Amino acid sequence: MILPSPRPDLPTDDAAAPSEAICARAEVQRIRWLTGLSQTAFAQVFAIDPDALRDVEAGRVRPDPSLRAHIRNIVHDPRALSSATR
């Protein structure tokens, strides 16, 4: 029996040292989990394309630069996180 190859868990920064690389999938999931929101709710609250969010979390694609910037803004704006978790 041949098992399908796993999808690569792509890093968010190709230039990062291996010990510091964070994969896109883990980064986005961690941030969403901190809010306690489902994918659909997170996408709606933060104006993110739900299909893009699903694809990133599934490891199918890397987030495009604008989505990465948007995610970073969510992390660095505590008000955004606190209002989303209420």
Q: Give pLDDT tens digits for 36-80.
A: 889 999 999 888 999 999 998 888 888 888 888 888 788 778 576
pLDDT per position as a tens digit, 4-14? 444 555 555 55
Q: What domains, with CATH codes, occur in the chain?
A: 24-84 (1.10.260)
How far is Cα 41 from Cα 47, in angstroms, rounded to an integer? 10
State the Cα torsion 86-33-63-78 to the nearest 10°. 40
Helices (H), the chain: 24-35, 39-45, 50-57, 65-76, 78-84
pTM: 0.68
How far is Cα 82 from Cα 84, in angstroms, rounded to an integer? 5
CA distances to 12, 19, 79, 85 from 63, rounded to whole Å, are 8, 21, 23, 23
